[in-house]
Amino acid sequence: MATDSSLQGNAAARWQSIRRGQRRRPLEWLAERGIFLVSLSAILLILLIFIFVAREALPVALGRMTSAHASDVIAPEDMEKIPPAQLQRYLGLSTKEFAAMDAETRRELMKVKVEAREERPDDPDADLNTTRWRHLLLPHRWSGYEKPEYIWQPVSPIPKYNLVPLIIGSLKATLVALLFSVPLALGAAIYVSQLAPPRVKEYLKPGIELLAGIPSVVLGFFALIVMASVMQTVLGYASRLNALLAGVALGLAIIPVVFSIAEDALTSVPRTFTQAALALGSSRWQCAWKIVLPAALPGVFAAVILGFGRAIGETMIVLMASGNASIVSWSLLDSTRTMTATIAAELAETVFGGHHYRILFLVGALLFIVTFLANLAGDVIVHRLKGKLEGKTS
Amino acid sequence: MLTARDQMPWDFRRTALDLDSKFFTGLTALATFLILAILGVILGNIVWHGAEGLSWRFIISGTERDMFDVNKAGVLPMIVGTSARVILMTIFVLPVGVITAIYLTEYAHPLSVFTRVIRGAVNNLAGVPSIVFGLFGLGFFVNFIGGGLDRVLYAAEAEPHWGRPALLWASLTLAVMTLPVVIVATEESLRAIAPGLREASLALGATKLQTVVKVVLPQALPGILTGAILAVSRAAGEVAPILFTGAAYYMATLPKSLADQFMDLGYHVFILSTQSPDIEKTRPILYATVLVLLVLTFALNIVAVLIRARIRRQMRHHQ
């Protein structure tokens, strides 16, 4: 990208460092301080997002929650016999809550515990705390199953919260999306930035960027109503909604992302490179493929990473087109369930502050971390590439 | 208008016929036109089928009787809900976004580490998944701020007043999400302004703040407008962030206060495509709803792209 010579560069940071008017006008000084403070909002918001998503997930992440059904109960008549500290722990109350209760309320709570004991499902797994990390990530041989399995089944007598099916689902859809969109977007980026006649280029670039203007819920709708039937007729698979369909629809959503960043990187390769190649007799394709693309390769890589981040975080398309069955399968033709779609579909029905609620926030925190790292990597790569290419021109 | 690039010897021809080059150039051109063709097919399909179900009655009537009834359902409550949340969002996001952009272009040292951190945060904010914004809106705005307000103002009442999904919280969540869009667009337009303008203003004795507010900002207005339009068009179509912060499956009345929930066009598209009792029968209203949503978001987007193209041309003139 061309840079404005007087706004960029070390020697020319003059305008930004001018402080005229501050000394004699305290109000202007105050206003400029205000501008500075407001500009911190982006940093503050990123921190707030992480803190508040992680905060709801924290009790599960630290292993402070349990989904186990009560196994040993203390009869309400024995209340006076046990020490208060033990009673407080048994009832799962904070010290403040415990102190605020009278003996009668405590006795009622103990009766509730006994009743819960009677409703305990007749299942050997009822004692398991399924919110532990071991059960979130490793397979377990549940009663009634023949071998250890990964199961996401949050609404059942024994809630099962294994995240592996969701992670596999997300990766499957994202992989298909990248395989579908990267070749197309990269081809288009090479064509638009290097090969197209300048006059055509003026129209092609905004045209492709228009694809970004289609809301994801509309792409999801299109995949569900139109593409699903067409692809099933053409390819003849069994499950109408599957990872392949969701991935292709997802690919449509990330084409403009990959295209814009790759095109920007290719365009930022200095003109001297291409001029030299052309002067030596190369064709424009040879110049684009052997000179410009290798020089801009980190930028193309960044485009793929940022496309990955966008695809794995996309919600409505996969919610509508993937079929939402949480099964462990690497087949693209099976119905699949992603992390984002799980949050969108299940959060509204969870008990506020319950383990299901908190585990969905944990999934959200994982998504945040993954996309944060992808964005950070993409950002750093693009920045370095720009610095390198601009350094070479001067 | 010819730029320097056009006059370069781009038409350098090799004497021997270079089939490889022709083939691969054709391949990349094919990829480009394939993308445009897909875009055309999607838009064409929606406009074609959507126009059939669209009628004046559909736009101005509500869903009092049955939201799945082809002859009676309308989208007025959704248009009102989506417009309300988008307008509120613009009010929240515009000042913060524009001021941040002013700091980044007019005050921050371009090479300092601190400026890099702010830019990194803005880029990262743009990449946070929309569903995570939804979780954040629920955890921060609804539970923390809303719940906190309830504890302070309505301590006696058991019913939550602010601590539940509402128009205000949905708008604020979307404002957080679209902040980078406004910042990037405003910054671009501020950079496109000729530096000589700033210097001339200083030379005439204006202070820096006066220059920024009275000379630079008015010039940047088209770019700020582009940013606002892009933010509106992005936010109008987003569903995931408002799922838990304000959108309602069904409401008998229009939202009357900031604490009310609302019906939303995008969410309604989702409901009609996934929960309809008979998808074949409700197809006309589904397509018509999609068309209304697309007109809202897409028309705005085209306007923004056109203004942006003008700004970019203007910027090239200064170099």
3-state SS track over chain A: CCCCCCCCCCCCCHHHHCCCCCCCCHHHHHHHHHHHHHHCHHHHHHHHHHHHHHHHHHHHHCCCCCCCCCCCCCCHHHHHHCCHHHHHHHHCCCHHHHHHCCHHHHHHHHHHHHHHHHCCCCCHHHHCCCCCHHHHHCCECCCCCCCCECCEECCCCCCEECCHHHHHHHHHHHHHHHHHHHHHHHHHHHHHHHHCCHHHHHHHHHHHHHHHHCCHHHHHHHHHHHHHHHHHHHHCCCCCCCHHHHHHHHHHHHHHHHHHHHHHHHHCCCHHHHHHHHHCCCCHHHHHHHHHHHHCHHHHHHHHHHHHHHHHHCCHHHHHHCECCCCCCCCCCCCECCHHHHHHHHHHHCCCCCHHHHHHHHHHHHHHHHHHHHHHHHHHHHHHHHHHHHHHHC
Radius of gyration of the CA atoms of chain B, in A: 24
pLDDT > 80? residue B204: yes
Question: Could you read off the pLDDT of A64-99 as tens digits, one per residue?
Answer: 777 776 656 677 777 777 777 777 767 666 676 677
Q: Do B209 and A21 touch (CB under 8 A)?
A: yes
Question: Could you read off the pLDDT of B167-191 as tens digits, one per residue?
Answer: 999 999 999 999 999 999 999 889 8
Distance CA B188, CA B197 (A): 16
- Residues 168 to 187 of A: which have CB under 8 A from any B CB? 183-187
Predicted confidence band at A8 (pLDDT cuts at 50, 70, 90)?
Answer: very low
Q: Do B305 and A252 touch (CB under 8 A)?
A: no
Q: How many CB pairs under 8 A join A and B?
A: 324
The Cα of B57 is separated from the nearest Cα of chain A by a number of Å equal to 23
Q: Do B135 and A312 touch (CB under 8 A)?
A: no
pLDDT (0 to 100) of residue A2: 40
pLDDT > 50? residue A394: no
Q: Do B28 and A32 touch (CB under 8 A)?
A: no
Mean pLDDT of B234-254: 89
Task: Say if CB B169 and CB B139 are below 8 A apart.
Answer: no
The Cα of A179 is separated from the nearest Cα of chain B by a number of Å equal to 14
Question: How large a percentage of chain B has pLDDT more than 90?
Answer: 48
Predicted confidence band at A387 (pLDDT cuts at 50, 70, 90)?
Answer: confident
pLDDT (0 to 100) of residue A127: 73
Chain B CA closest to residue A255 = B35
pLDDT (0 to 100) of residue A7: 46
Lowest mean pLDDT among B17-21, B248-252, B292-296: B17-21
Range ranked top by mean pLDDT from A150-159, A319-328, B123-132: B123-132
Task: Say if CB B246 and CB B174 are below 8 A apart.
Answer: no
Q: Do B118 and A40 touch (CB under 8 A)?
A: yes
Question: Could you read off the pLDDT of A102-146 as tens digits, one per residue?
Answer: 777 777 777 777 777 666 667 777 777 778 888 888 888 887 788
A372 close to B (CB below 8 A): yes
The Cα of B191 is separated from the nearest Cα of chain A by a number of Å equal to 7
Question: Could you read off the pLDDT of A163-214 as tens digits, one per residue?
Answer: 999 999 999 999 999 999 999 999 999 999 999 988 888 889 888 988 988 9
Q: Which residues of A touch B20 (CB under 8 A)?
A: 285
- The amino acid sitting at A134 is R
pLDDT (0 to 100) of residue B170: 96
Reference B163, options B138, B188, B187, B129; nearest CA is B138
Mutation pick from B128, B179, B183, B315 vs chain A, by most beta carbons of A within 10 Å, is B128
Q: Do B128 and A306 touch (CB under 8 A)?
A: no
Q: Do B125 and A28 touch (CB under 8 A)?
A: no
A371 close to B (CB below 8 A): yes
Question: Could you read off the pLDDT of A341-375 as tens digits, one per residue?
Answer: 999 999 988 888 888 999 999 999 999 999 999 99
- The amino acid sitting at A38 is V
Mean pLDDT of B99-111: 90
Predicted confidence band at B251 (pLDDT cuts at 50, 70, 90)?
Answer: confident
What is the pLDDT of chain B when averaged over all its residues? 86
Question: Could you read off the pLDDT of B51-98 as tens digits, one per residue?
Answer: 988 888 888 887 666 777 777 788 889 999 999 999 999 999 999 999
pLDDT (0 to 100) of residue B44: 95
The Cα of A141 is separated from the nearest Cα of chain B by a number of Å equal to 32
pLDDT (0 to 100) of residue B144: 93
Q: Which residues of B touch A226 (CB under 8 A)?
A: 45
What is the pLDDT of chain A when averaged over all its residues? 85
Tell me the CB-side half-sphere exposure of residue B231, using CA atoms within 13 A: 34
Distance CA A319, CA A266 (A): 34
Q: Which one is predicted more confidently, B112 or B34?
A: B34
Q: Do B273 and A225 touch (CB under 8 A)?
A: yes
Predicted confidence band at A100 (pLDDT cuts at 50, 70, 90)?
Answer: confident
Q: Do B120 and A379 touch (CB under 8 A)?
A: yes
Q: Which residues of B touch A25 (CB under 8 A)?
A: 207, 209
pLDDT (0 to 100) of residue A71: 57
Question: Could you read off the pLDDT of A236-275 as tens digits, one per residue?
Answer: 888 889 999 999 999 999 999 999 999 999 999 998 999 9
pLDDT (0 to 100) of residue B32: 95
Chain B CA closest to residue A31 = B209
pLDDT (0 to 100) of residue B293: 94
- Residues 19 to 48 of A: which have CB under 8 A from any B CB? 19-22, 25, 28, 31-32, 34-36, 38-43, 45-46, 48
